[in-house]
Amino acid sequence: MTTVNDIVTRFEEFAPKWLAEKGDPIGLQLGDLQQEVHRMMVTLDVRPETVQEAIDQKVDFIFAHHPAMFHAVHSFDLSVPQNQMYAELLKHGITVYAAHTNLDSAQGGMNDWLADKLGLQDTMPLLGPLAEKIYKLAVFVPVESASQLRAGLAAAGAGQIGEYSGCSFSVQGTGRFTPGQAATPAIGSVGQAESVSEEKVEVVFPARLKNQILAAMRANHPYEEIVFDLYAIEDSGPQYGMGRVGNLEHPITVADLAAKCKQIFEINGLRLVSPDPQQVVSRVAVLGGSGAKFYPQAQAAGAEVYITGDVSYHTAHDMLAGGLNVLDPGHHFEWVCQPQLKALFSQWATENNWPIQVISTTINTDPFRFI
């Protein structure tokens, strides 16, 4: 049996919740994390038409980029279309989960998918970088118990460095102690000085695993009083950040890049802000969704073109005055996440022997049309 929780736990290793912007309502939207999943659907948006598609396709679980519930429901009035959509989801037992700005900042996530579509090379985050705190644990254990301790720490998630798991370092020495009258020592006797051959085991782990790593240490250690050091390591964790900036393989005019964007993002039109559409450019920044307010960061990163959605009138004037070329393909160009998410979940289903089918919505949820 595979549950929603099994699936999202694996996803949150890829795009941790802590990456989300403050106030972003990511995570479980409706339903039950313990619900069994047979068929899941990935989508950019959760709208009445995608919900009906999920019902028709007998979907148990919808995984969306945009949260279905941006605002709290204060009155469950079913004459409101949004509330009626929620009711249909609950009625048909469909759980909904959303990964928004955490997916935007994840390595190999939304903005890398957009950058790859554009053919950008040597990319780096446009915003940030963000880094999860990494801890190092050094714990002293009798030599004969060291193997069990290392195995327990690895099973809890310690010692993962890039593509390598179970990483640790050990050095042996002598531990000395005298048990007090109230002690119940695993080794030695009350009131008598003791010397023990001990091993110092060192492992690293991300901050989000701190409680379970320390619990594993205690569960796999023979001493009632464990001697250990725990400290943060600066600038050692994976680097995350929203948006990407990189270089095109070949220089191109702004006008030709605009035409290329229409083709690769499968849109009939976009908005162009440019002091000279014939300018030849090579350095491009991209940020999925509504990223207009971050155009100064794009300029600071040396971008000659900034691609993002929902550019407002006055901000466009400021961009133009600053000499920045901007392409606005609309917010919906984030639809590129759908085939990528389908591929990811299908891969994880194979790796974890999940008996589930992963499908992608076939509905275009872009509310805008060019006429």
DSSP letter for each residue of 192-246 = S-EEEEEEEEEEEEEGGGHHHHHHHHHHT---SS--EEEEEETT-SPEE-SSEEE
Mean pLDDT by 10 residues, the chain (371 residues): 97 93 96 97 98 98 96 88 96 98 96 98 92 92 97 96 92 95 92 95 94 97 96 79 97 98 96 98 98 98 98 98 98 98 98 98 96 89
pTM: 0.82
Sheet with 194-206, side-by-side order of all strands: 169-177, 194-206, 134-142, 228-233
pLDDT in the model for residue 251: 98
The residues spanned by each domain of the chain are 4-104+335-360, 110-128+241-329, 133-233
pLDDT in the model for residue 236: 65
- Which of 268, 320, 315 has its CA nearest to residue 291? 315
CATH of domain 133-233: 3.30.70.120
Q: How many CA atoms lie within 13 A of 342 on its CB side?
A: 15
User: 51, exposed or middle or buried, with CB in 10 Å at 0-12, 13-18, 19+?
Assistant: buried
pLDDT in the model for residue 36: 97
pLDDT in the model for residue 163: 84
The verdict on domain 110-128+241-329 having CATH code 1.10.10.60 is no
Architecture of domain 4-104+335-360 in CATH? 3-Layer(aba) Sandwich (3.40)
What token pair was written down for 82?
């949004």
- Whether the CB-CB separation of 207 and 19 falls below 8 Å is answered with no
pLDDT in the model for residue 142: 97
Residues whose CB falls within 8 Å of the CB of residue 347, separated by 6 or more in sequence, listed in order: none
- Whether the CB-CB separation of 286 and 244 falls below 8 Å is answered with yes
What token pair was written down for 130?
């963000």
Sheet with 39-43, side-by-side order of all strands: 27-30, 95-98, 61-64, 39-43, 357-360
Strands (E), the chain: 27-30, 39-43, 61-64, 95-98, 121-125, 130-131, 134-142, 169-177, 194-206, 228-233, 239-240, 244-253, 271-273, 280-290, 305-309, 325-328, 357-360
Same fold, 110-128+241-329 and 133-233: no
